Amino acid sequence: MRKFRSLTALCAFVLFASAFPLSAQTPSPAPAQAPDPAITALSVLGVVSDVKADTRQVVVTTAAGNQVTVTLSDRTVFMRIPPGEKSKDKFVRIGPTDFAAGDTVFARGRMTDDRKSMPALEFYVMSKNDIAEKREREKDDWRKRGLAGTVNAINADTKEITIDARTAEGPKPTVIATTAATKFRRYAPDSVRFSDARPSAIGELKTGDQLRALGTRSADGRFTAEEIVAGSFQTIGGAITEVNAEKQELKINDVQSKQPVTVVVSKDSLMKRLTPELLAALTPPKPGGGSNPAPARQGSDLQEMFEQLPAVTLQELKPGESILISSTKGAEPTRVTAIAIVSGVGPLLQNSQGGRPAAVSLGAMSLGGP
């Protein structure tokens, strides 16, 4: 069972690294005919993907992957929006060249009928450096004031949630108090993007959900949440039977269900390869073989080991290789979108098949590491 807990902890780090709610997102392509909410008759919101200084034009790419060419002029008003500010009196006047590719912009003007170009009267900039700094501050806040675990009880009357919080000493029951000001979000099925997570409520939580909360802890150990993000996650594993780099998909034989599963690899999927050192740390000793030469580590030690694991690409994975996949629980059990993929886990899966069912070792994922 120690191996099983270590294996789940390893995968939890993968999920934390890829599904953390403040992680950066990049635009993804969408069908041209699909309506794009970032493009209206009078504005466009997106990221600067190209700056044409000679013609004073800026190509803005929306989150859906559509592009609008914005033409600047002497009439254009340029403003920088400090991260987190919503009041216009906090905006800062900038020059016509005080922005760069990668910055997020909101341009106002009159869009052409084909919604491909627009002369800008107002050009609001959110610097990518400012956004990155704010994101790092917020991520650090989540690390310091956050906790994660599995929901095991919900009290609708008192608005309290009991979770098995992940700690260096193992799961620890913790009561989370919520208030009318607590913000709830829930991951969408078949999506690994926090931007796809929708507003939620305590009534949507279920036992077994993976939960991450940001808040404050009182002297008596009571935790009051300011924000909660939750979702239903799963871990599956098995040997690869097919790799289709063109479709960005692979297929495995799931050791739990004994059924073939198609795994979709998106640009947000995190892919790592287990090193022999960490594999040894997670592999239990054989009966009568003495103690484990590299016992599984806990807490930050294991997290540091995981963060240093080498990345792997889809093209590097080969049929016959065993992998672990973490994903949300979608509507179609035989087709999942990978949050994370860990390769090089063959000995762990082989050991799990020799004892209790593999489902024991491939339990639900967590939104945060132990």
Last residue of a domain, one of 66, 99, 127: 127
Query: Is residue 23 very low, low, confident or very high in pLDDT (cuts 50, 70, 90)?
Result: very low
Rounded Cα distance, 310 and 275, in Å: 8
Residue 284 confidence (pLDDT): 60
Rounded Cα distance, 148 and 21, in Å: 13
Same domain, 94 and 79: yes
Same domain, 251 and 354: yes
Residue 32, classified by CB atoms within 10 Å of its CB into exposed (0-12), middle (13-18) or buried (19+), is exposed
The tens digit of pLDDT for each residue in 110-125 reads: 999 999 999 999 999 9
- Residues near 35 by Cβ (< 8 Å), separated by ≥ 6? none
Q: Tell me whether residue 210 is in a domain.
A: yes
Residue 19 confidence (pLDDT): 41
Same domain, 204 and 283: no
Q: Tell me whether residue 36 is in a domain.
A: no
Q: Tell me whether residue 35 is in a domain.
A: no
Same domain, 175 and 185: yes
Per-residue pLDDT at 370 exceeds 50: no
Q: Tell me whether residue 31 is in a domain.
A: no
Rounded Cα distance, 367 and 229, in Å: 8
CATH of the domain at 164: 2.40.50.320
As a whole number, mean pLDDT of residues 240-269 equals 91
Query: Is residue 233 very low, low, confident or very high in pLDDT (cuts 50, 70, 90)?
Result: confident
Per-residue pLDDT at 311 exceeds 60: yes
Residue 228 confidence (pLDDT): 94
CATH of the domain at 356: 2.40.50.140
Residue 327 confidence (pLDDT): 86
Residue 286 confidence (pLDDT): 60
Q: Tell me whether residue 272 is in a domain.
A: yes
The tens digit of pLDDT for each residue in 95-114 reads: 999 999 999 999 999 999 99
In this structure, the chain runs to a length of 370
Q: Tell me whether residue 118 is in a domain.
A: yes
Give Dmax over CA atoms of the chain in angstroms: 81
The tens digit of pLDDT for each residue in 32-71 reads: 455 889 999 999 999 999 999 999 999 999 988 999 999 9
Per-residue pLDDT at 236 exceeds 80: yes
* Six token digits for residue 108: 């106002």
Residue 131 confidence (pLDDT): 85
Between residues 141 and 279, the one the model is more confident about = 141
Same domain, 340 and 252: yes
Residue 6 confidence (pLDDT): 43
Cα angle value 175/361/153 (rounded, 5°): 20
Rounded Cα distance, 206 and 138, in Å: 27
Same domain, 205 and 216: yes
Residue 46 confidence (pLDDT): 95
Q: In which element (H, E) is residue 305 found? A: helix 299-307
The tens digit of pLDDT for each residue in 158-205 reads: 999 999 887 767 778 899 999 999 999 998 876 656 667 889 999 999
Last residue of a domain, one of 207, 231, 255: 231
Per-residue pLDDT at 263 exceeds 90: yes
Same domain, 215 and 121: no
Rounded Cα distance, 293 and 284, in Å: 9
Q: Tell me whether residue 279 is in a domain.
A: yes
Same domain, 266 and 345: yes
As a whole number, mean pLDDT of residues 225-253 equals 92
Same domain, 208 and 102: no
Tell me which residue range forms the domain holding 201.
134-231
Per-residue pLDDT at 248 exceeds 80: yes
Rounded Cα distance, 27 and 31, in Å: 13
Residue 11 confidence (pLDDT): 47
Same domain, 246 and 334: yes
Same domain, 55 and 106: yes
As a whole number, mean pLDDT of residues 206-235 equals 89
Last residue of a domain, one of 100, 127, 154: 127
Reduced to 3 states (helix: H, G, I; strand: E, B; else coil), residue 203 is helix
Q: What is the pTM of this model?
A: 0.62
Q: What is the number of structural domains in the chain?
A: 3
Same domain, 201 and 257: no
Q: Tell me whether residue 177 is in a domain.
A: yes
Rounded Cα distance, 194 and 16, in Å: 12
